[in-house]
Structure 1
Amino acid sequence: MPEAVVAAARHLLRSFAKPCRILAAVSGGSDSKGLLLALHSAIGNRDREGFSLAACTIDHALRPESAGEAAAVAAFCAERGIPHLVRRWEGDKPRTGIQAAARQKRYELLADAAAALGADCVATGHTRDDQRETIAMRGARGEGEGPGGAGMASTMFYGHRVWVLRPFLGLSRADIRAFLSARGVEWFDDPSNANPLFERVRVRSELKASEEAPVAPWSAAQRAASSARAAALIETHVRVHETLVAEVAAAQAGNTSDADWRRALLSVAAVLGGRNHLPGHATIERISGFLQTGAPGRMTAGGVVYDRRPNGLYLYREARGLSALVVDPGETSVWDGRFNVTNGGQHPVAVTASQKDNQWDQRLIDSGLPPGVAKRAVRAAPHIAPAQADVVGSIRAKVECRIALYDTFLPGFDRTMADALALLFGRERYPAPPVHDVFDRNGEGLGGLPWQGDARTLC
C-alpha cells in the first residue's frame, strides 16, 4: 500500500499541537528514506503554515562505506532543498554491546542535530517489522513487566532533550519499499542487518521462519492505563525521605498480586537503585514472595534493600558497589546512576558514599524514619568534597535525583508514571510531547496517531 505511506505522514502532521520543524533521521535505508520523502510530500507547500523539514544522517563510522553513504544522503536532500547535517560517531568503539552503544550514540547525535537545526522533534522510520522484532526480543529477555511490555511507543522522550516520533509503526517495510520503487528511488542495505552475530538479526530470521507474530502483553492504550493507575498508587502509598528512602505502609507493601502496584513499587526501587530497567521475572517473583509473607526482615535485589518492619516497608540503596566520581568545574556527571551532580565551582569535586554522615543521618531521622533505617540508608548517601586536598573554601555543587528508568528513554505511554516518580523525588514533570497521542488517567486516547492493525502488537 504505497499510498498508506504518505497518509501516515499526513496524519502525523494533523497530530501536532502546533506547526513545527521536524528533523527526519535518515540513514539511506528504505525505511528512513521513505520517511523523508513521505514527510517532504506531506508538508509540500505547507511551509507557510509553519511546518518545515530538516534531515540528519548519523555516520557510525563502523564500515568504510558509511561516509560515502552519508554523503549520498546529503546530496539526495540537497536536490530537494531539505537542510541536512551529517553527524559522525568519533572515537573508539566498544568491543561488546556495539548495537546498544550505537543506538545510544545515535540518539545523542540526533538530539545535537535537532538543536543545531532548530528542530522541535525527531522522526524515525521504525516500522511494524521493527516492532515485531522488538516485542520478540524483549519477551525473550523477560522484560514484560517493564518498559518493553507494549513494544516501542509511537513517541519517546530522549535524554530530557527532544521528543522522538515514530509515525510508521503501523506500516510494513514492504509498504515503504513499494512506495520508493513507485517513485524510482533506491536505498542502501546495511550489511550489518544480515549479520547473525546481532540479536535483532537472529530474531528477524526466526520471525520469518515462523507463521505466528509475537504478541505484546499490552496495547499502547492498556499500557497507558496501567501507567496512570501505577502513578495514582505511587502518589497515594509511597513517601520518599530526602531522595534516599522510600516508605510504604505495611498494609500496602505485600499487595504484589496487583500488577500495577507491583510495577509501581519496582519502579520506585529502580530509581533508588539507579537502574534503568526493572528486574527480570525471577527476581520479581523473589521480591513478591518476600513481601507477601508480611514477616519482618530484609532482602536485597537490584542494589536495593527491602527492609520490612512491623510499621511498614522501607526501600534504600544497598551500601555496596558505590564508586567514587570526580566532577570537573562546569561539568555535570552521574553518580551511582542515582544523582546528577553539577559542579558550579572553580575546582574539581569528588563524590563518594558518605558511609557515616551525621548531617544526613539527622535529616533522615527528623523526616520521621526509624533510626535503624536512617543509619543504614545514610551509608549510600552522596558526600561531596574537594577532589584536591589543598583546596579550601566553599563547594558549589548541585545534586539532583536522577530517574534512571526514564531520563534517557521515556516511552510516551509511560509519561504519567514518569511524572509521578519525578514529583516523588523532588523533580519537575517531564515536558509534554508535541503531538496529541498522550493518554489520560483512564487510558483513553486524546487523539493523535492511528493504531493500525492488531492493537496487541502495535504501540
Structure 2
Amino acid sequence: MSDAVLDAARIFLNSFIEPRRLLVAVSGGSDSKGLLLALHHASQTEARKGFSLVACTIDHRLRPESASEAEAVGAFCTSLGVPHRIYRWEGDKPRTGLQAAARNKRYELLAEAAGALGAECIATGHTLDDQYETIAMRGARGAEGGQGQGGAGMAATVLYGRRIWVLRPFLGLRRTAIRAFLEAEGVGWSDDPSNVNPVFERARVRADLAASGDVPALRWSAAQRSASSVRAAALISGHVRVYGALVAEIAVPLAGKMDDPDWCRGMMSLAAVLGGRDHLPAGATVKRLSGFLKSDHPGRMTAARVVFDRRSSGLYLYREPRNLPVLDLRPGERGLWDGRFTIASLDSALTVSAGDGGVWQQRLIDAGLPKGVAMRASQVAPHIVPAEAGNTGGDTAKVECRIGLYDTFLPGFDRIMADAIAVLFGRDRYPAPPVHDVLTELEG
C-alpha cells in the first residue's frame, strides 16, 4: 500500500519538465497530509534534486476547532522542515452555496499563498474517491449539458485564474492506500465533520457510494477528452470567425452538424463566451437548438442568452439584447460587465452600459457582417463613457473579453480548445502546464 503512494509521488515529480517549487495544500486530513509526506520523501532523493516544498492551510473559520487544526498542521510541516503558512477566510459566509463559495475562496487564498512563498504551482490531495464522487454528482445533476463536459471527471491538471497550475498527483489512488501509508509512517490526521454532514451534496453522495459499493464509470478518459479538445480546436479555428468579441460567424457546412459531439461542444463553448456564462448550455437547451440548427431554413432562435441567427451566408451568434447591466467604475477600478468583458478604468470614473450609438455597427459592417447582424450585435456592445460630463480626454479604459468557462478553472485536457477560443476572441493563449500530460503527448 505505502509503495503505491510513494510511487505516485515519484512519478509526479518525474513528470515535471524542470524542477519547481511546489505549494502543497494541507488541510490536516489524511489525503493532504499523505501527499505532503510522500512528496517530502520523494523530493529528498538525488534524482529529484532541485524541487522544494512549501505548504499552506486554509482556515475557512467555519468550525471552532479549525484554528487549532491549522496550527497542528503547521507543527507537522515544521517537523518536516517545510515552510508553512495559514490563510484565513475572513468576513461573513454565505447562507447558501457554502461549499462552492468555500472552494472558490480556498483556491483564491492558495494562489495568494503561492505568490507569497514563491511557489510556481499548487499540489492538492484529491483522490480516486473524490473522482468517483464528482462523477456521480455530475451525472445526477445532468451537468454535462449533452456535451460530455463532466464525463471525464476531474482533470489531473487545472489552471487557476489564468496564472497558476493546480496539480492532483493522487487522483489515481484510493483513500485507503493513503491512510495505510500514514499509519505505517506513524502519522495521524483529522477528519472534517462536514465530510459526513448530509446537508452537503458531496457528503450524501459519499455515503451512498459507500453503502452501495458502486464505482461510477468515467464516460470519457482523460486521453479521449484531450483528443476531443484537439479536434474541436481544429474545427473552431478552421470554420469560425469572431468579430470584436461580439459576433461569431460559423461557416455553412458546420452550422447544423450538432450530431458531431466535438463540434457541438466547441460551438456551445463559443455560445457560453458570447452569452457571458461560466457553463455550457443545459442538455435540454442543446436538444432544442439541435432541432433548429439541423433545418436549412433561415431564422433566429434565442437560447442561453445568445441569438442563433441562421442565414444563407452562415450562422451568426451574438448576445441577446435583454437584461444588459450598467456598471459604474471609480478611477483605477476594475469590474466585470455582463459576464463578457473585464473593464479597467484608467484615470477617471466611468459608466459602462449597452449600445454604442452606431460606432460598433459601422465597424461590424465594414468587417463584412450582414447589416442586420451588425445592427443587433452593436446593441449589446459595451458603451463606455466618463461618469463626469465634460471629461473627454485620452483613453479612459482597458477592455478585455472574459472567457468564463476557463478563466477561473481550466481543466488541462481542454487547454487546446480553450486556446483556440482565446485567440478568436483576441486573447493570449493560456500558459502550458509545468508537467508532461496527455495533451503534451498529443501535441508532440
Q: Same fold (TM over 0.5)?
A: yes
Paired with 1:142 and 1:178, the residues of 2 have a C-alpha distance of: 35
Map Cα deviations across residues 71-116 of structure 1 (whole Å, 9 max, x no partner): 1111111122111111111111111101111111100100000000
Paired with 1:309 and 1:178, the residues of 2 have a C-alpha distance of: 63
Paired with 1:325 and 1:202, the residues of 2 have a C-alpha distance of: 40
- 1:349 has 2:350 as partner: yes
Aligned to 1:212: 214
Which stretches of structure 1, 4 residues or more, deviate above 6 A after TM superposition? none
Are the equivalent residues in 1 in contact too, given 2:14–2:48 (CA < 8 A)? no
Map Cα deviations across residues 310-341 of structure 1 (whole Å, 9 max, x no partner): 22110000111211112233332221111111
Aligned to 2:431: 431
Aligned to 1:455: none
SS in structure 1 at match of 2:439: coil
SS in structure 1 at match of 2:415: helix
- Per the TM alignment, residue 46 of structure 1 is displaced from its structure 2 partner at its CA by 4.9
The one-letter code of the counterpart of 2:255 is A
**1:292-311 counterparts in 2 under 5 A?**
292-311=294-313
Are the equivalent residues in 1 in contact too, given 2:43–2:49 (CA < 8 A)? no
Map Cα deviations across residues 340-381 of structure 1 (whole Å, 9 max, x no partner): 112221x22121112x52111111111111111111111110
Aligned to 2:268: 266
- 1:275 has 2:269 as partner: no
Map Cα deviations across residues 365-402 of structure 1 (whole Å, 9 max, x no partner): 11111111111111110111123446453342110111
Closer/same/farther in 2, CA of residues 46 and 402 from structure 1, 3 Å limit: farther
SS in structure 2 at match of 1:42: helix
**1:34-433 counterparts in 2 under 5 A?**
34-44=34-44, 46=46, 49-144=49-144, 145-345=147-347, 347-354=348-355, 356-389=356-389, 391-433=391-433
- Per the TM alignment, residue 214 of structure 1 is displaced from its structure 2 partner at its CA by 1.2
Paired with 1:92 and 1:352, the residues of 2 have a C-alpha distance of: 31
The one-letter code of the counterpart of 1:158 is Y
Paired with 1:445 and 1:399, the residues of 2 have a C-alpha distance of: 32
Are the equivalent residues in 2 in contact too, given 1:244–1:316 (CA < 8 A)? yes
- Per the TM alignment, residue 407 of structure 1 is displaced from its structure 2 partner at its CA by 0.5
The one-letter code of the counterpart of 1:283 is T
Map Cα deviations across residues 187-244 of structure 1 (whole Å, 9 max, x no partner): 1110111111111111111111224311122000000000000000001111111110
Paired with 1:166 and 1:52, the residues of 2 have a C-alpha distance of: 17
SS in structure 2 at match of 1:153: coil
Closer/same/farther in 2, CA of residues 406 and 370 from structure 1, 3 Å limit: same
Map Cα deviations across residues 31-65 of structure 1 (whole Å, 9 max, x no partner): 00100101111111559932100000001111111
Are the equivalent residues in 2 in contact too, given 1:143–1:149 (CA < 8 A)? no
- Per the TM alignment, residue 146 of structure 1 is displaced from its structure 2 partner at its CA by 4.9
Are the equivalent residues in 2 in contact too, given 1:324–1:351 (CA < 8 A)? yes
- Per the TM alignment, residue 422 of structure 1 is displaced from its structure 2 partner at its CA by 0.5
Paired with 2:370 and 2:432, the residues of 1 have a C-alpha distance of: 38
Map Cα deviations across residues 380-438 of structure 1 (whole Å, 9 max, x no partner): 10111123446453342110111111000000011100000001111111101000014
Q: Which runs of 5+ in 1 are unaligned?
A: 447-459
The one-letter code of the counterpart of 2:352 is V
Paired with 2:57 and 2:27, the residues of 1 have a C-alpha distance of: 5
The one-letter code of the counterpart of 1:110 is L
SS in structure 2 at match of 1:439: helix
Are the equivalent residues in 1 in contact too, given 2:58–2:87 (CA < 8 A)? yes
Map Cα deviations across residues 165-204 of structure 1 (whole Å, 9 max, x no partner): 0000110010011111111111111011111111111111
Q: Which runs of 5+ in 2 are unaligned?
A: none
The one-letter code of the counterpart of 1:35 is L
Moved more, 110-119 or 304-313: 304-313
The one-letter code of the counterpart of 2:14 is R
Paired with 2:204 and 2:149, the residues of 1 have a C-alpha distance of: 22
Aligned residues: 442
Paired with 2:190 and 2:324, the residues of 1 have a C-alpha distance of: 45
- CA RMSD after TM alignment: 1.6
- Per the TM alignment, residue 250 of structure 1 is displaced from its structure 2 partner at its CA by 2.2
Paired with 2:49 and 2:407, the residues of 1 have a C-alpha distance of: 33
Are the equivalent residues in 2 in contact too, given 1:386–1:395 (CA < 8 A)? no
Paired with 2:175 and 2:187, the residues of 1 have a C-alpha distance of: 15
Moved more, 285-294 or 125-134: 285-294
Are the equivalent residues in 2 in contact too, given 1:146–1:277 (CA < 8 A)? no
Are the equivalent residues in 2 in contact too, given 1:248–1:313 (CA < 8 A)? yes
Are the equivalent residues in 1 in contact too, given 2:249–2:314 (CA < 8 A)? yes
Larger RCO: Structure 1 or Structure 2 (Cα < 8 Å, ≥ 6 residues apart)? 1
Are the equivalent residues in 2 in contact too, given 1:114–1:120 (CA < 8 A)? yes
The one-letter code of the counterpart of 1:8 is A
Are the equivalent residues in 1 in contact too, given 2:223–2:438 (CA < 8 A)? no
Paired with 1:133 and 1:219, the residues of 2 have a C-alpha distance of: 16
